[in-house]
Amino acid sequence: MSYLLQFCGLSDPLQLFYLEQKSASSPSGSPTPGPIYGGFRPFQLDDLLGWALDTARGRSWDGEAIQRLVLDVWMERADVIRQWQLRLREEPAGRMLVAGIGTQRDWEFRCEQLLKA
């Protein structure tokens, strides 16, 4: 299975809470389709990796594949990550960088839901 990690933008905690609620488990306890979102301040590899691995355990994803994904993205997008880190320092203290992780189907589901809105 392939996974995708995206950096979505800067947000306040309330907006992140709304995103997280939309991607929470259903009443039956099974995960709802769609990516999982997390907020980071500061934006550091250790925090991103820990969140991604926790997400992988919660969704029964391949932890090694998730770890490789995060490390590969961190190395491949080093310039973009530095830009996000700089922008985050300029933002008010309550704002954070939002990232999302999911399978290809999770992201397709999210896009379909946006188009239905």
pLDDT digits (tens, 9 = 90+) for 64-81: 999 999 999 999 999 999
Residue 28 confidence (pLDDT) above 90: no
Q: How high is the pLDDT of residue 46?
A: 98
pLDDT at residue 5, rounded to an integer: 97
Nearest-CA neighbor of 3 among 49, 45, 51, 52?
52
Tell me the average pLDDT of the chain. 91
Contact 79, 19 (CB under 8 A): no
37-57 confidence digits (pLDDT tens): 999 999 999 999 999 999 999
b/e map 66-99, b = 16+ CB within 10 Å: beebbeebeeeeeeebeebeeebeeeeeebbbbb
| pTM for the structure as a whole | 0.87
Q: Is the pLDDT of residue 25 over 60?
A: no
